[in-house]
Each structure stands twice: as C-alpha cells, then as structure tokens.
Structure 1
C-alpha cells in the first residue's frame, strides 16, 4: 500500500497542470512505490489528457474524466479523487500548484511524529509571466519580506496570530486544499467535501470545520510545506460563486468565526483576504485581560530540551502570553508546540525566516492591489 496519494482536480488548465505534474517527479528519496497521483478532470474540453500524458516518470498516475454536469464542482472532483486513492495520507494540491522536491519528506516528518493530524501548508504567488525552469525556480521565487506580492495572504494571518494554529478559536476555517494533507480515515469519517458548494471557494473551509470537530484530530501548520502558485486570472463568475458558497457556509456554521460579526461584506472573509488587526484578534478569541508577554528565542539546538521544559512550565501559567521565535527551523519544535494543544497560555510559535511584521501604508496598498489581479 502506498503511503501518499496526491489528489488534483483540474478543468481546462492543461498548461499549468503539466508543470504541476512535472514537479511531482522530483520528490527527493521517493519512488512510485511510495506515492501516486489521482488526477480528476472535471469535464475539460482542451484535450488535457493528450497534453499531459507521459509526464509522470517517477510515479503512478490515475486519470479520471468526469463529464461536465450542472453538479460539477471542485468538491465533487476531489471526492472522486480521494475515494479512488490507495494511500493512507491524501495530499491535496490544485492544478496550478508547483510543489518543492521536499514536499513528501516534510509530510513524512510530520506524520512520523504524529499520525492523527491534518496538515496545512503555505504558498508563494508566482507573478504573471514567470518562467518555469525547475533548475532554479525555487531559488528565484522564495519567501522575501521585500517582495510582498509573492507572499500569500495566509502568511499575514499566521504572522499576526501564530503558526501554532491552536491559538485560533476555529482552525478549520483556515483549512485550504491548495496545499494540505489529510489521513484518508478522516475523510471517510466526514464523508469528504460537501458537494452543495458549486463553483469557486469555501468547500475546503467547510471540510476543515468538520475535520476539527472530530475527536483526536489535530491541525498542524507547516511553514516548511511551501509551494508555488502559478499566476492566472480570476474566473468571470468568481464573485457570484463566492457569494453563493459563503451563504451556504454561514448558514451551516453561524458561529465558525467566533465573535466576529457576519452581517455584511465586512465579515469572516476579511480574516483571509484583508488581514486587519482587530478582526484577527477577535478571530483568535483573545482575552481582554492583559497578560505579561514572555519571548523565548530558540537559537541553540543543544538547549532544545531545556527550551521545551521552559515552554511547558510557562504555558501552564494563565497570566503569561508566551511567544516562541525559532531561529533554527530544522527541529520538531513546530509540531511539538502545536501538539501541546490549548493551554492556560497557549504558546505562539513563529519561524523567524517567515516573519513579516507591520506593513507600512504604502506596502499595504501595493499588496492589496496585487490581490485584484491573481486568482486565489
């Protein structure tokens, strides 16, 4: 039995898809005995199969073609995909995603440490006209605080709240299938995606909320599970589709965003699309009682065990606000902190290489303008 199954839905995206499939050949240390790819074509009419066939050199590829119907959707396509998968871990990526050669090794690290987790990765946004050259792609396009237009909005959320998702009241709302992984048994337990979500958006947030409701399931955000998103335009009907799907979500989960007002266009979507300090604080469910801030910096690997002891002791004190800054980023400190769960003072975790900090007004304006061009 294979350990990992990539599930990729696609619709008339053959050029981007081929780059995505090509990247999956390059998983360092893994062969076709370790992973497979389930490609679900949701009724494409651009000769997708003829264009991409033979791309898979190092893995088994299963191609599923679904006739286009009124009920066609990303949710339906992904359900067909994971139900056809052999792997115990289902890895969701989109047809516009290019994964790093370390994608599977990072997932292996996390699932070796703890098997009952849902993993959420991150992504950088390739600019229009980016040349896809696998020899230097990840060297040219990497996380850089000075290149804000490359940085996905989720980085801002985690940078403000924490990469320890236990600090968030409803972590399922941050679940995104552009780059994530879920044990198959939990997809079976939730029946997968709700196929009432037709068109673009929010079907993954819905699944995230149901996964979070399962007993013993833990959410983990990995800053090392980073991928690239290929530029493409918004779909013409995105606004209408998003509005419809958002209504479905709000009716199903009226309290999903904690104490955020969900009464207008300034609602839970602000948390993901336009990071605002006040919204993010309320989304995290912060206490009004002022706490004493404690900052712990991890710079010396030899002091790893001592650091863990300090975190355990401090996180058991309700009057403290514990923040951990990881300068090493090559140990299991990230997942160890997350698996502590919710504590009297749930420790915040920040990988230093992914810090953004407060935006200047001109930086914020430039970043928000870039959102209008690219399809998320």
Structure 2
C-alpha cells in the first residue's frame, strides 16, 4: 500500500503513563503523517488520561482516547473498542510500551498488501536502558549507532542490526500455513475490512495469553496471508516484569481447537461488544 489512505495506530495501555508518553513521542516523529492514534486504555487512572490529553495538544495528527473500567486483563475488549473508534482502512496494533522508530508507519505502509496481515518485530531493551529512556536521560529514538553498539555490549539490547538495515517487501516475508512463532499483538497490522470479517479480537478469552494468536489464526482461516515484518517494522520494547500466565495453556488449547475446526468469527467480538 503506497497510497495515501489513512492508517489507524491503535495503542493499548494500562497504568504505565511514562512508557505511553515515550511511545506517543515516537508517534510525533513519524515521517509518514497520514495516520491517526487511538489509545486503547484498559482501565488506567487519570495519570494516563493526562498523558493522552497532552499528546493530543502536541501531535499534528488526531489522537483519541478510548477507556474501559479496570476489571482485570481485558486486552481483547479494549482493542475492539479501539477498532470501533478507528477511522482508517488499515489498522496497526501497538502496545503502550513499544516505542516506534521514525519510519514505523512508513514501513508498515510499504508492507501492506491486499489480503495480507503483517506480524511486526521488536527489539528488547534491558531494565537499565529502559529506566534511562523513561527518565529521558537518553533519547532512544534518535541515538546513533555507537550508542546502540555500547548497549549491545552491555547486554541492554538483544539486537541492533534491524535499526540500521531495513529490507523491502519480498517473497520470503510470506509465512506459509499457521505458525505460532512471531505472533505478537504489540506490533501487528491488518486491513480493517479483514478484521471486521473475523469479528475482531475474541473477548471470551480470559487472562493473559494467545488472544493475539487466536486473532491471527482466524484471519488465516479466512484466507488472509501472513507476512513477517522483520528487518523493517521493529519497535523498541521497554522492559517490564512478565504478566501472570495461569491461563496460557487453556487459551492455547482453544486456539488449537479453532485451527482444527476452521473457526473464523470471534465468539464474542466486535459485533457483541457494544463498543460503538
């Protein structure tokens, strides 16, 4: 997609306003300006609302804030609310602790093609570098190669090559069949029409884990091709402690069952959420 269609960047967040502020600062530096931001807030306090309001004043693109009450981990539900608010033909899902590089939107736009979704990639930052970035002691968006080389030697970043080498769209990006590896809703893009076909994310998934794999699987079952966004779409993932994963296995079993039966539509998704 090299045209000028509007892209909706749906940023999921929960009570991490310092990280969200850094992500929105990254949004402000995008080279591609034909996009909007929808902050999908899973029950954060007023500190997050203040960050969004400040960003709305400073960014030159539209910034919307969609909020739901805090009732546990409900990522699928808040993403559906973000989808319902989005105006773009193409949706990019981003987590509120994943800082986009300046060419993030532009790279996703170049990889977008009819009948395809893109699973993006990420670069993991360590706790010390994350702390420095949040305190604004370092500018992770504009730091030079020498800085990143030092951080790699110190073990504060897991890879640096994708920051400086960006590959175009090519055949090897296509993922044949359904594969779990690389599916992360912290960086994922799909056409709004295809998302509507599968009824969005399934809110019947409870607790952490695999609601993103289920989303990609149902798109796969609907005939949408998956493309890998490696060496093009990398975001800087700020360090955080892992979420409890008590529900991971049961959610995984649900995805495997849907792989077997060819399920396409979410049991409780966009049509049932009342998100409009």
> TM (normalized to structure 2)?
0.76
Cα deviation, residue 250, structure 1: 3.3
Stretches of structure 2 lacking an aligned partner (at least 5 in a row): 134-138, 163-170, 263-276
Higher relative CO (Cα under 8 Å, sequence separation at least 6) belongs to 2
SS of the equivalent of 2:232 reads strand
Cα deviation, residue 164, structure 1: 2.7
Number of residue-to-residue matches in the alignment: 238
Aligned residue number for residue 366 of structure 1: none
Aligned residue number for residue 246 of structure 1: 252
Cα deviation, residue 149, structure 1: 6.5
State the Cα RMSD in Å: 2.9
CA contact (8 A) 1:2 1:86 kept: no
SS of the equivalent of 2:233 reads strand
Aligned residue number for residue 261 of structure 1: none
Cα deviation, residue 168, structure 1: 4.2
Stretches of structure 1 lacking an aligned partner (at least 5 in a row): 156-162, 257-376
Query: Quick one: which of 23, 26, 29 aligns to 1:23?
Result: 26
Encode CA deviations 1:321-362: one digit per residue, 9 max, x unaligned.
xxxxxxxxxxxxxxxxxxxxxxxxxxxxxxxxxxxxxxxxxx
Aligned residue number for residue 159 of structure 1: none
Encode CA deviations 1:2-42: one digit per residue, 9 max, x unaligned.
51001112111111111111100001142xxx111111111
Which structure has the bigger radius of gyration? 1
Aligned residue number for residue 220 of structure 1: 227
Cα deviation, residue 48, structure 1: 1.2
Moved over 6 A (4+): 144-149
Aligned residue number for residue 122 of structure 1: 121
1:47 aligns with 2:50: no
Encode CA deviations 1:225-273: one digit per residue, 9 max, x unaligned.
11110011123xx1213234223323433599xxxxxxxxxxxxxxxxx
Query: Quick one: which of 68, 71, 75 aligns to 1:69?
Result: 71
Aligned residue number for residue 36 of structure 2: 36
CA distance in 1, matches of 2:239, 2:119: 21
CA contact (8 A) 1:172 1:207 kept: no
CA distance in 2, matches of 1:228, 1:184: 25
Task: Give the direction of change, closer, same or farther, for the CA distance of 1:13–1:167 in structure 2 (3 Å limit).
Answer: closer
